[in-house]
Amino acid sequence: MDNIAGSKSSLSWAVHISLALLVALWLFPTVGLLVSSFRTSDQIATSGWWASMFAQEQNLTLRTSDPDDTRVERDGMFVVEGQLFEGDVPDISVWGVNSREIDAYFPGDTADLGDGETFTLNADGTYIWTGNEDQISGRGQRAFVTAETPPEFTTQNYQNVLFDPSNREGMAKAFFNTLTVTIPATIIPILVAAFAAYALAWMDFPGRALLIAAVVGLLVVPLQLALIPLLKFHNEIGIGKGYIGVWMAHTGFGLPLAIYLLRNYMVGLPRDIIENAKVDGATDFQIFVKIILPLSFPALASFAIFQFLWTWNDLLVALVFLIDSSGETTVMTKQIVELLGTRGGNWEILATSAFVSIAVPLMVFFLMQKYLVRGLLAGSVK
């Protein structure tokens, strides 16, 4: 028995480690985008996001202030003093005054620039540059500094994408458009489906089994087939491309899953409650509103989350039924695809926009995961 216990513990270590690796692998890409959205475009373009977590050695080329404006005469020499860095001063490891020898001096050393001209750089970033009138003129002295820069993050990208008044990417508008599409498209099918599901679960009528089978069949019909016929139909009845069309389309496409989920749940409700209510003289309508609907809350919540995630993340239906040539009604997914095409190199904008669009579903996901899992388990055809 010792043997078995021993092998079990080593196996359990292997299990822990492999699971941790798997989780890390699954998380890694998303974390990359999240971290990138908090970096400046220069940072994203020059180093991998994984490097941003640690202090980085960077080679900076800096210039002193303009000597013609700031030099002062002292003991017959001209002197420029000041601070080489704007903002935080990084840890300077080595520096130089020549691009071929950028590691010639340590902080505090004084560089001899010839003919009595000297340049001193201290660890705190202050410098003293001394020389005669000719030497201390023209442009500022260049210094090549190798420094450890601490990890640095900014929320500027989010400000630019969401609140910048000029807002070239239009993400703020797209955010509200997405919300406008999503909320009615989530609520309306629930109600329609709930009544149908009740009829399919608890009312007896000829053709019921056939209808249930039809709903199961419609669950897998690809919505690609519906694009052209429905676009034609929308144009014929005069709503064309717009919110009404996209709401109706999402309602139609969401119904099979809604009916299927809700019916499966309602069938499992105790028969006694419903029969007692009937004996007490309640009508079907009353039973549905007062008993079934409150009891079905978990199933309703499951479907609402599905439909919300699906309509929020949808691209195809919005492209076909909503977005017209004016682009006023664009949604976030469409904006991001557009950004991928036109500004594929501007990772700070892309990453931030993508995260703005991902944030809401992620929040819903983590808050209501219980219902999502329950819905998935009930919704996969057994």
183-222 positions binding another protein, by CB under 8 A: 183-184, 187-188, 191-193, 195-196, 198-200, 203-205, 208-209, 211-222
3-state SS assignment for residue 93:
strand
Would you count residue 376 as binding another protein (CB under 8 A)? yes
Rounded to the nearest whole angstrom, what is the least distance from the CB of residue 1 to another protein in the complex? 12
Phi, psi of 75 (to 5 degrees): 50, 40
Place of tokens 């819903």: 364
Judged by beta carbon, residue 43 or residue 130, the one nearer another protein is 43
Based on the shown chain and the rule CB under 8 A, indicate whether residue 53 belongs to the binding site for another protein. no
State yes or no: residue 239 binds another protein (CB under 8 A).
Answer: no
CB of residue 151 to another protein, shortest distance in Å: 16
Q: Which is nearer to another protein, 123 or 221 (CB)?
A: 221
Q: Check binding of 304 to another protein (CB under 8 A).
A: no
| Cβ(317)–Cβ(231) below 8 Å | no
Question: Closest by alpha carbon to 33, among 280, 356, 255?
Answer: 356
Cα–Cα distances (Å) from 351 to 33, 329, 354, in that order, read: 6, 22, 5
Q: Cβ of residue 292: shortest distance to another protein, in angstroms?
A: 11
Among 72-80, 84-92, 177-185, 290-298, which window interacts with another protein (CB under 8 A)? 177-185
Nearest-angstrom CA–CA distance, 94 and 113: 17
Rounded distance, CA 329 to CA 177, Å? 6
- Give least dist CB 108 to another protein, A: 30
Residues 245-284 that bind another protein (CB under 8 A): 247-249, 251-253, 255-256, 259, 283-284
CA–CA distance from 144 to each of 61, 108, 121, 304, 313 (Å)?
Answer: 5, 14, 11, 59, 48
Choose which of 48, 82, 116, 268 interacts with another protein (CB under 8 A).
48
Q: Are 299 and 266 in contact (CB under 8 A)?
A: yes
With CB under 8 A as the rule, give the number of residues binding another protein. 115
Check binding of 16 to another protein (CB under 8 A): yes
**H-type alpha helices, 60-155:** 67-70
Q: Is residue 354 a contact residue for another protein (CB under 8 A)?
A: yes
- Partners of 230 in beta bridges: none
Q: Is residue 309 involved in binding another protein (CB under 8 A)? A: yes
